[in-house]
Amino acid sequence: MKIKHYAIIVLTLLLLSCGHSGERRYQGYVEGDNIYLASPNSGILQQLLVKRGQAVTKGQRLFQLDPEPQAQVIKQYASDLEQAKSLLKDLKNPRRAPEVEAIEAQIEQVNAQIKLTEIRVKRYQSLYQKNAIEKDRLDEILATYDQQKKLRDQYVANLTLAKMGSRSDQIKAQEAQIQAIAAKLNEAKWQLAQKTVHAPAAGVIFDTYYRPGEFVGAQQAVVSLLTPENVHIEFYVPVEELARLSIGKKIHFTCSGCQPDNPALISYIAPEAEYAPPLIYSRENYDKLVFRVQARFDNFHAFKPGQPVTVLLR
């Protein structure tokens, strides 16, 4: 590429005095910057869906790598997610009916005991007031009565918990587990999707680098794509021409076998001068320094990268 640059620079210097007074001509060429398309994952190239020189549209499938092992990872995470959701549902559901019925039976039993104890408490209080029994006997039955009421309160609390399901902290922990598995599943799906590569823009397939059945390393380009926005004209102008040029200015160019006066817009002007060796910057060769200029055109399919052109500045 450097040799080509130097050749263009030399031609530019030779032609500086060849143009008419109202038109300056500079030699240049069509330049294209390819987009190299690769997958972040490695794998066997399963499908190559395009050929060299083929026009493609934005979003068109270009190639696909073997979906394994990502497809198997997705199945595993999907299974784990279903199990986690099932466990969460079980945690939120009340306990099974036999467990609830057993607690209710305990409550009924202790209620019956409390009723009998209440009768005994009233009788012992009456006997104590008549000095028929010692106070210890009354205190003993009152303590039994108090224990039975506390036991009933415990059974009622157990029944409430059984009907509510598991504790909230267990449910929160399981919900967090589900979110973690879902995130891993989404990542695995994304990794699988990266094994199918689509065209990021409309353009032409410049080249292909692998055949179906070959192993492709991670981030290794399988195809290169040339798009309209990445094709431009490149030429060189002397220092005195810079004052007449600006970004967005319209120029014209021609080439062998193409129609004359093809329009283009200047998109880039190099901030520094270039010169072909063995030139050294000095007052003597100041007029031989040139600046690189790029211009974009619309008729993308009419010109090919590397094609020489003549730029006309008026």
Residue 258, H or E segment = none
pLDDT, tens only, 29-61: 999 999 999 999 999 999 999 999 999 999 999
Query: Which H or E run includes 36?
Result: strand 35-37
> Is there a contact between 218 and 273 (Cβ–Cβ < 8 Å)?
no
In sequence order, what DSSP letters do the residues of 110-170 get, joined into one string?
A: HHHHHHHHHHHHHHHHHHHHTT-S-HHHHHHHHHHHHHHHHHHHHHHHHHHHHHH-S-HHH
Is the pLDDT higher at 293 or at 274? 293
Cα angle, residue 245 at apex, residues 244 and 251 outer, rounded to 5°: 110
Residue % of the chain over a pLDDT of 90: 46
Closest CA relative to residue 36, chosen from 62, 1, 2 = 62
Of 178, 182, 216, nearest to 66 by C-alpha is: 216
Q: Between the CA atoms of 28, 258, 299 and 232, what dihedral angle is there, to the nearest 10 degrees?
A: -10
Whole-angstrom Cα Rg for the chain: 43
- Cα 117–chain centre separation: 72
> Cα–Cα distance between 75 and 188 in angstroms, integer?
10
Alpha carbon distance 36, 222 (integer Å) = 8
CA 297 to CA 307: how far, in whole Å? Answer: 14
Tokens in use for 160?
């409430």
The structural domains of the chain, ordered by start, are 2-65+205-313 (2.40.30.170)
Question: How many residues would you count in the chain?
Answer: 314
Q: What is the pLDDT of residue 276?
A: 53
CA distance 176 to 167: 15
Gap between the Cα atoms of 246 and 147, Å rounded: 98
Structure token digits, residue 274: 């270039």
Specify the pTM.
Answer: 0.62
Percent over 70 (pLDDT), the chain: 86
pLDDT tens sequence across 81-96: 999 998 888 777 766 6
Task: List pLDDT tens digits, range 58-112.
Answer: 999 999 999 988 999 999 999 999 999 988 887 777 666 677 788 889 999 999 9
Distance, first Cα to last Cα, the chain: 29
Q: Which of 27, 24, 30 is nearest to 241 (CA)?
A: 24
CA proximity to 194, closest of 58, 36, 42: 42
Question: What is the torsional sign of CA 107, 112, 114, 115?
Answer: positive
- φ and ψ of 223, to 5 deg: -140, 160
Give just the sign of the alpha carbon dihedral 117, 123, 124, 125. positive
